[in-house]
Amino acid sequence: MADEVLGDRRKALEEQFFSKHNEELRQKLLKSQEKQASREALAHVAGDADAQVLDKLVELGIGPETWAALEIIPLVEVAWANAQVEAKEHGAILTAAEANGIEAGSPSHRLLENWLTHRPDTRLLAVWGEYIVGLCAGLDPAQKSALRDEILGRARTVAEAAGGFLGLGNKISPEEEVVLQQLAKPFGR
């Protein structure tokens, strides 16, 4: 009888182990399927973006519903250059976001607000740079120059938003200037 009780207990423990293991495998499969679906939807929105870049973007939380926030990454990076986002920089970024069609309350706006409160993962800027390199490969020199000027101009506006003392002196800090130079690199100049 003791053998029967121990056998039943062993069988119950095995079933519990395999049940837990199966659930873990099921969760991994679901997560993989969700990631693939998000990547496919992002590919639809992003056009000809490189598959590896899309995978990295999905990994960093960028999906089709937050795609619009990708354009604001350079502004966020400039704002964080001095280790904190100043109120004027915050306002300048939200103004640029609204001009880009990012509506308050949208997933992109919520993601942007999070980036302004909590510094985004450092890999985000690198992935943005990879995306820009791929994008520029399909542009003629005039289009590439216009895109560079627009992005760097908006980033410079954010850098100047909180700079200077009483409106005098250099409005862009050395740290912000380093970020602006990093932002220019994917354009090849």
Q: How do the domains of the chain map onto residue ranges? A: 48-187
pLDDT tens for each residue of 47-69 = 767 778 888 888 877 787 777 78
Q: Are 61 and 53 in contact (CB under 8 A)?
A: no
pTM attached to this predicted model: 0.71
Residues contacting 121, CB < 8 A, separation 6+:
60
pLDDT of amino acid 29: 65
